[in-house]
Amino acid sequence: MGFSVVGLGLLGLTIISLFFEDSHVWLGFAFGATSVALFLRVGGGIFT
């Protein structure tokens, strides 16, 4: 499961790097992924 998550993240970064040359897009992608991971962790702690 962990390898598939890492693989999908790398695939997303590869696709973004092919379409966009600006590094701000990468920062937005990273911030979005981090905030989703944080909210899933907090939500999992509340609802379990």
> H or E stretch including 33?
helix 23-47
The parent domain of residue 42 ranges over: 2-47
pLDDT in tens, the chain (48 residues): 889 988 988 898 888 888 888 778 778 878 888 888 888 888 876 665
Q: Which phi and psi angles does 32 have, rounded to 5°?
A: -65, -45
Task: Say if CB 26 and CB 17 are below 8 A apart.
Answer: yes
Greatest pairwise CA separation for the chain in angstroms: 41
* Count: domains in the chain: 1
The pLDDT value given to residue 36: 85
